[in-house]
Amino acid sequence: MFKLCTALLATLLPISGSVIASPNVYEVSASIKQNGQSVAAPRIRVKPNAPAEVSVAGDNRFRLAVIIIPSETDGLDVSVEVDTSQASLKSVVTTFVDKPIVVSSGDLEVTVTVADGDS
Q: What is the mean pLDDT of residues 11-40?
A: 74
Q: Is the pLDDT of residue 28 over 80?
A: yes
**How far is 47 from 25, CA to CA, in rounded Å?**
4
Give strand ranges (E) for 6-107: 26-34, 37-40, 43-46, 52-56, 62-70, 75-84, 88-96, 101-105
pLDDT for 20 equals 53
74 or 37: which carries more pLDDT confidence?
37
pLDDT of residue 23: 80
The larger pLDDT score, comparing residue 94 to residue 10, is at: 94
Q: Per this entry, what is the length of the chain?
A: 119
Between 110 and 73, residue with greater pLDDT? 110
pLDDT of the residue at 71: 86
